[in-house]
Structure 1
Amino acid sequence: MSTPDSTLPWSCEAEQSVLGALLIDNDAANRIAGHIDATAFWHVPHRAVFTTITRLIAAGQPADVVTVFQALQDDGIADDIGGLAYLNDLAQCVPSAANVGRYAAIVADKALRRRIQEIAASIGDGVNDAATADEALDQAQTLLAGLKRVKGRGEPRSIGELMLERSTHWEALQDGTEAAGIPTGLPHLDEALGGGLKPGTVIVLAARPSVGKTSLATQILLHVAASGKPGSILSQEMPAGALMDRAAAHLGRISLGRLSTGHFADDDWDRISEATNRALKLPIYVDDQPALTLLDVRAKARQVQRKQGLSLLVVDYLQLCGNGAGSDGRNRHHQIETISRGMKVLAKELGITVLLLSQLNRASEGDEPELHHLKESGAIEEDADVVILLHPSGQEVDGCVPMLAKIAKNRQGRRGRLALAFDGKTQHWATSTSDVSRRSGGKAS
């Protein structure tokens, strides 16, 4: 029987060995399930034989030389694969099925190499078809990311096996050797989030302008990075310099006003030195490019992940994201919807937490905010795993403003009302004992 003449990578011997192992030991199919399928075989007759063998095994029927030949004959393709003689050769080409896992690994490796070459060709073709270079880059990255997910695909597992495995995780949580999430530095918030920030999730932090959402997000980012978890902030509203003023105020407990004006107190430079030394140790990356498109956000997140790793991505803020070149003119509602859903895909794809800042609409002014106050699109509420609405809940006391952090949506935990206090002078947030219970009539004092 002739073999394909191809420059693409494949191993005739490995493919034959997998098929031979299956023919002499049907249980070998269990050891390679989820690692290869019919498409992993380059030689078309081998693909047909593998399909027939696995079909018989799945039906609870024996799959040996005779039964497979009969099934192929019933399908009218026995002669195409070389007939009974070739099936006999396959069964005799391996001494045992003990090494079927290794043979399958070779077949899978060759299949992956072929797929890489196909994607490389697709990328080349897509360069000229894309509207912009950024779009071409994102398409290429998406193709390669999809390739990783296919490579990592496994077989379905029993609930009992998964429960036993999860029990190990629960034991590790109990004895403290594993964390339930990445702490935010605000214990009450961590408790509400089920232990902290979780990978693959999108947390929307929303407020009216000048309430402090950027400051709170920055403090969480600084705390996460201090625990050794890399993070990044995409600051579309605030230039990097202004963001550094706030970070220094928090890290060094320095007056933000003095950092902005240069009217420093005697000990401020010691505090600035302390803040700078602390910042030098933090794995945080800052980008202040305005009007980011979804393609920009994805590209920047991947760049940081490749360079340092990435646990938390802060996007400040959603409504400032741009439409991108070549926009098809859809209304803003649909554009925000696309960006919001793209953030969720990105969080799952990279295994990170996305802290997505958002504006509330004018209808929330004066009243306690609700989910429907999220500006421009209901998709923000739908796509988020957690939605936190910030709102001042009283008059300033000792330089701190009482704040309600209303957890209006929480897929993996409880909804509720948390009391925080914000010191704007040093950009410091802390838990509070202030009363944030709902006032009669829905108003917040």
Structure 2
Amino acid sequence: MDPKLIAARDVLERVDRRLLDPASDAPVWPTGFPLLDEELGGGLRAGTLNLVAGAQGEGKTTFVLQMARHSARTGRPVVFVSFELEAETLLQKAIAAEAAERSTRSPLTVAHVRAAFEAADSVAGGLPERLGVHNGGIEALTAVSDYAARLYIHRSTSTATTLDVIASAVKDVLVEQGATPLVVVDYLQKISTPDHLLEDEKVTRITEGLKDLSIEFGCPVVAISASDRAGLEPGTRMRARNMRGSTALAYEADVVLILVNKVDVVARHHLMYGVNNGEHFKDWSVVTIEKNRSGRTGGEVEFRKQFDYGRFIAEGQFVSEKLVDERVYTE
């Protein structure tokens, strides 16, 4: 019998065994953003493709790295496929974020951690000595060290990292850890495909391949998607249709999250008559749930940025102001 053919009875028995065995893998991975999890119906679901899009500089890598940290910290392995940043850079962000989560009194910044990694500070010794001079440094290093064995970073290139390479890496981690990993791809359009494909064909193949991978391994895949030119126009609010490439992106994805700078989309009257002319809106990112097959679509939640510390503040809030799709600028 085809191993992919399964009787409904077997599905029910599998679910029952999982519910009765606390040690078994649950089908949902919390993101580490409680309000977002609530809107998504608990978090990221096994066998789903979850896309994160937004303008350049909006913190997409920081956002998905925060999800990856939460997964590894709670005992689940992660495969972070990074086309954008080196492993050391990602860990610098992780250490600074852990420090900020543990201390409200001048924690070390990403810049401090980078200086320690590169021996560009005035302190002698290894990481413990260099980070130990900063408030929360040792605690942050310890926290990252505790889950570092579950956080796998694949330094990827657009010429060599194919879907098969990613699948092989996921399989290796599954065998080594004995648990299904969260898979993060930063970012989708850089996965290598045959050179003869047009962009729409390339993105379609990649999107379908990532969806297949999520189903095959029973894991959530979180992939960052680049925006097309229209989605980056000043005053324009990016939508799912602005993800660069094929319509397969929005069709195949189970969840689509769009990150946008709040000041760019809040209604004009909030800027004109609000506190400090709305200057404080620049400190917030709005996450719009453009698509959600497991829950409500259209939810808008916001999180305060702390990019100096490599993170968003996880305790967000619902957007209370009126948002617009397009800002009209006049002289």
TM-score range, shorter chain: 0.7 to 0.9
**What pairs with 1:198-217 in structure 2 (closer than 5 Å)?**
198-217=45-64
Relative distance call for 1:362 and 1:203 in structure 2 (3 A) is: same
Q: Please give the secondary structure, in 1, of the residue aligned with 2:79.
A: strand
CA distance in 2, matches of 1:299, 1:170: 27
CA drift of 1:257 comes to 2.3
| 1:255 aligns to 2:137 (yes or no) | no
User: What is the aligned partner in structure 1 of residue 104 from structure 2?
Assistant: none
User: What is the aligned partner in structure 1 of residue 190 from structure 2?
Assistant: 320
| 1:294 aligns to 2:132 (yes or no) | no
CA drift of 1:306 comes to 1.4
One-letter amino acid of the counterpart of residue 276, structure 1:
L
User: What is the aligned partner in structure 1 of residue 176 from structure 2?
Assistant: 307
Q: CA RMSD in A?
A: 3.2
User: What is the aligned partner in structure 2 of residue 377 from structure 1?
Assistant: 246
CA drift of 1:260 comes to 3.0
CA drift of 1:203 comes to 0.5
Q: Please give the secondary structure, in 2, of the residue aligned with 1:313.
A: strand
- The answer to whether the Cα contact below 8 Å between 2:131 and 2:138 also exists between their aligned partners in 1 is no
Q: Please give the secondary structure, in 1, of the residue aligned with 2:303.
A: strand
- The answer to whether the Cα contact below 8 Å between 2:33 and 2:316 also exists between their aligned partners in 1 is no
Aligned length, in residue pairs = 286
Looking at CA atoms only, which structure, 1 or 2, has the larger radius of gyration? 1
User: What is the aligned partner in structure 2 of residue 386 from structure 1?
Assistant: 255
Q: Deviations over 1:87-118 (max 9, x none)?
A: xxxxxxxxxxxxxxxxxxxxxxxxxxxxxxxx
Match of 1:432 among 311, 316, 320: 316
Q: Please give the secondary structure, in 1, of the residue aligned with 2:80.
A: strand
Greater strand proportion: 2
Q: Please give the secondary structure, in 1, of the residue aligned with 2:29.
A: coil
User: What is the aligned partner in structure 1 of residue 85 from structure 2?
Assistant: 238
Return 195-204 or 421-430, whichever deviates more.
Answer: 421-430
One-letter amino acid of the counterpart of residue 236, structure 2:
D
CA distance in 2, matches of 1:304, 1:180: 18
CA distance in 1, matches of 2:34, 2:53: 20
User: What is the aligned partner in structure 2 of residue 127 from structure 1?
Assistant: none
CA drift of 1:215 comes to 0.4
User: What is the aligned partner in structure 1 of residue 301 from structure 2?
Assistant: 418
Return 5+ residue gaps in structure 1 as ranges: 1-36, 38-149
Q: Deviations over 1:175-212 (max 9, x none)?
A: 9x996722211111111111112110111011111110
One-letter amino acid of the counterpart of residue 302, structure 2:
A
User: What is the aligned partner in structure 2 of residue 273 from structure 1?
Assistant: 138
CA drift of 1:290 comes to 1.5
Q: Please give the secondary structure, in 1, of the residue aligned with 2:225.
A: strand
Q: Please give the secondary structure, in 1, of the residue aligned with 2:76.
A: coil
**What pairs with 1:35-50 in structure 2 (closer than 5 Å)?**
none
Give TM-score scaled by structure 2 length.
0.76
CA distance in 2, matches of 1:354, 1:297: 11
| 1:344 aligns to 2:198 (yes or no) | no
Q: Please give the secondary structure, in 2, of the residue aligned with 1:203.
A: strand
Relative distance call for 1:248 and 1:362 in structure 2 (3 A) is: same
CA distance in 1, matches of 2:163, 2:27: 30
CA distance in 1, matches of 2:52, 2:133: 32
Q: Percent same amino acid at aligned positions?
A: 26
- The answer to whether the Cα contact below 8 Å between 1:236 and 1:320 also exists between their aligned partners in 2 is yes
Q: Deviations over 1:233-266 (max 9, x none)?
A: 0111111121111111111222112223445899
User: What is the aligned partner in structure 2 of residue 20 from structure 1?
Assistant: none
Relative distance call for 1:440 and 1:231 in structure 2 (3 A) is: closer
Relative distance call for 1:333 and 1:171 in structure 2 (3 A) is: closer
Q: Please give the secondary structure, in 1, of the residue aligned with 2:51.
A: strand
**What pairs with 1:77-96 in structure 2 (closer than 5 Å)?**
none
CA distance in 1, matches of 2:324, 2:134: 48
User: What is the aligned partner in structure 2 of residue 356 from structure 1?
Assistant: 223
User: What is the aligned partner in structure 2 of residue 229 from structure 1?
Assistant: 76
User: What is the aligned partner in structure 1 of residue 274 from structure 2?
Assistant: none
Q: Please give the secondary structure, in 2, of the residue aligned with 1:431.
A: coil
Q: Please give the secondary structure, in 1, of the residue aligned with 2:302.
A: strand
CA distance in 2, matches of 1:259, 1:425: 11
- The answer to whether the Cα contact below 8 Å between 1:235 and 1:286 also exists between their aligned partners in 2 is yes
| 1:186 aligns to 2:30 (yes or no) | no
